[in-house]
Every structure is written in structure tokens, then in C-alpha cells.
Amino acid sequence: MRVDPTYITNLVGSLDQAQLNEQQLSAELSSGVRITSLSKDPVGAGENVLLLNQIQQDDSFTQSASLVTGQLQVADSALGSVVSELTKAISLATSANNGTMSPSNVQSVANQISGILDEVQSLANTSYQGQYIFAGGQTSAAPFSTTNASPGVTTYAGDSDVNYLQLPNGQKIQLNVPGDQIFLGSGTNSVFGALNSLIADYASGTVNTTEAVSDTAALGTALNYVSQQRVIVDSSITQVSAASSAVTNEETQLTTAQTDLMQADVGTIATQLSLVETQQTALEDVIVQLESPSNSLFSKMQP
């Protein structure tokens, strides 16, 4: 009869493996995590890294979307107030243009429109979290200022840069409309140009109807132009909201997939752990018996 001289070594190796399995299963059971090391499941560990990276990207986008949504809403509110102020200025100018007002009343209109210009300029210099939202890329300084001349001149210190929010899929959403595009426009659609001209038209109390009517019409054109620019902001709000909802849903799905991948099956692991512990006990008993002189394999072979 041939006897394998390494039988004890093999049994000890099996016992070591059983103990290692018991440790791994115990760790999984206590942590509730199925993959506790790269060697346990390299493919699963790799999938987990990819899922976590995408979840982090989605979370970062969601935070950015929340911030820019606040900025866009402030911009929309400011432009809504500008529309209201310009509508008021047109009403005042129309009344002054009918030729029935006294000089003092006409001057009063000039003063009221001057106040409207100040309010519109304040709105055009709106800031959000310390950044001027109508300054293009020059967000650290107020973009608009007006001289005291007659007619006054409103200048723009910002630039024409347009900022975008990039979605996880690579698409971009416009986040701002530069102030020069909204309030200065070109020619007849300049908000500040029309307001400054109207103030000068009525400042003396004597109305040059032809010029005043022309400047009032220019302000109406500028009002319509502001409304068009506001549509861009409203569209961006809608797009950001939709993208944020889509990314939030994706993040929920990815989190569920990541949980399913990593979460331990407690029932199955408990059963496996019980079997491994039984195997470990049996191996220990066999080794103890075989290492005993009276129970050695050679003694068992004696007649």
C-alpha cells in the first residue's frame, strides 16, 4: 500500500483555506458588503468603481445645476422687473407726448423716468452670490454706470462672454445673456439709450413731440428686445431643470445598481459560513487524530 507522505500538509492547507473562507464570509456578513477585496471579485470591483465614478459625476452636476438655477431665476426675476419699469416709462412718455401737460408736469415725467433709469440700472447690476450676472465674464464689478450729462450716457464695463453648463452627456446649456446684448443692443433697441433720450426730451419742460414720440417708440422696441432676451433665460431654466431631473433619476438607478452589486446576500452567506465552519471543525478533528502517535496512519497499518 502506497502512503502519501504529504497528507498532513495537505490537510493543513485545506484548513488554512477554510479559515480564510470563514474570515471572508464573516467580514461580508458583519459589513453587509459582498465584495470586500479586489481579489474576491475583480470584475465586480471594477464595475463598482465605474458606477461610483458616474454617481460622483451626476452628484457634482446636480450641485452645479442647483447653483446655476438660482442664478438664472434671479436673472429672470430682474428682467421681469425691467419689463415692468420700461412699461411704466412708456406710459409716462405717452402721456407727456399728448401736448396737454404743463411744463412742470413734463419735468415731473423727466424726473420719474430718471428714477426708472436708476432702477433699471440697479437691476442691470444685479448680483448673485457676489457675482454680477449681466456682466458677461467680468462678474466681479458692476457692469453699468451712467453719466450726469444731458442726455446721459450709460456705459458697460463687462464683456460679451457667454457661460455654459455642460451636461454629463456633453451637451451644453447657456447660463447667461451678457448685459450689453440685453440693455444696450444696437441702435433702436438700446434700453439705456432710449431712457436717457426721453429724460433729455422732457427735462426742460418743453416737448419736441417728433423727437419724444420717436424716442418713446425706441423704448417700446427696446422693451420687446428685453422680453426676447428673457425668453433665452427662461429656456435655460427649463433645460437645466429637465437635465437635473434626468441626472437625478440616473443617479438613483446607478445607486440601486451599485447597492445590488455590492450588497451581501445575508441568507446565502450565513449558510456558506455554517458549512465552512463545519468543514473547518472536521479538518481540525482529523488533523488532531492523525497527529496522535496512537492514531497515526502507520499504527493503523500494524496488524
Q: Residue 27 domain-assigned?
A: no
Q: Where residue 44 falls among pLDDT bands split at 50, 70, 90?
A: low
What pLDDT sits at residue 289?
Answer: 65
Residue 48 gets the label, from left (phi > 0), alpha (psi -120 to 50) or beta, of alpha
Strand, helix or coil for residue 146: strand
Q: Residue 204 domain-assigned?
A: yes
On whether both 234 and 299 belong to a single domain, the answer is no
Q: Residue 15 domain-assigned?
A: no
Q: How far lies 237's CA from each of 62, 74, 226, 290, in Å?
A: 14, 11, 17, 78
Q: Give the residue with greater pLDDT, 237 vs 48.
A: 237
Instruction: Give how many domains the chain has, as a whole number.
Output: 2
> Residue 181 CA to chain centroid, in angstroms?
25
CATH number at residue 171: 1.20.1330.10
Provide the grid cell at 76. 429672470
Q: Residue 184 domain-assigned?
A: yes
On whether both 80 and 223 belong to a single domain, the answer is yes
On whether both 186 and 209 belong to a single domain, the answer is yes
191-225 tens-digit pLDDT: 999 999 999 999 999 999 999 999 999 999 999 99
The model's pTM: 0.69
271-301 tens-digit pLDDT: 665 676 676 676 666 666 665 655 554 454 4
126-162 tens-digit pLDDT: 999 999 999 999 999 999 999 987 788 999 999 999 9
On whether both 155 and 283 belong to a single domain, the answer is no
Give percent above pLDDT 70 in the chain: 70
On whether both 103 and 252 belong to a single domain, the answer is yes
On whether both 201 and 273 belong to a single domain, the answer is no
